[in-house]
Amino acid sequence: MESVKTFIKFIAVPNTKEIGLVIAEDAAELGDFEKTLKKNGFSEVGNAKALFAGIAQGGKFYSVIGGDLPKDLYDMLAQYETGQVELFNQSDMTSDAITPDYKNLSVMFLVAEKTFKGLPGAQREMLLSIGPVYRS
């Protein structure tokens, strides 16, 4: 548990264009990791729209991956380090775009090993390529 705390402290320092990924051994450990993130000032975001709003305002955010990545979230992850993030607004059929202020932003994803292994190959590859990974 100490090593994940060190990892979280590393990724919790704003000023990175990378998104952290923690792959937990099981659901119980995933819950422990969530508690650790909350103790380090992270807020949970449940979907792409909430993450987009968080990126726009700045802060520390995490999301738990419970199954396949929704397309809008997958697209945001792919765009995050490019300096511009877009989200399609279904209500008015337009795209909203923001420029992340990396010096005031930290984003992390959590996933259980079993869920991670069940993701389609492209989604697993995306998660492994977005930034530092901690696997317990």
DSSP symbols for 47-63? SHHHHHHHHHH-EEEEE
**Segment 25-52, tens digit of pLDDT:** 999 999 999 999 999 899 999 999 999 9
pTM of the model: 0.87
* Residue 65: per-residue pLDDT: 93
List of residues 6+ apart from 80 with CB closer than 8 A: 17, 19, 55, 100, 107, 130
Q: Tell which CATH architecture fits domain 2-135.
A: 3-Layer(aba) Sandwich (3.40)
* pLDDT at residue 98 tops 90: yes
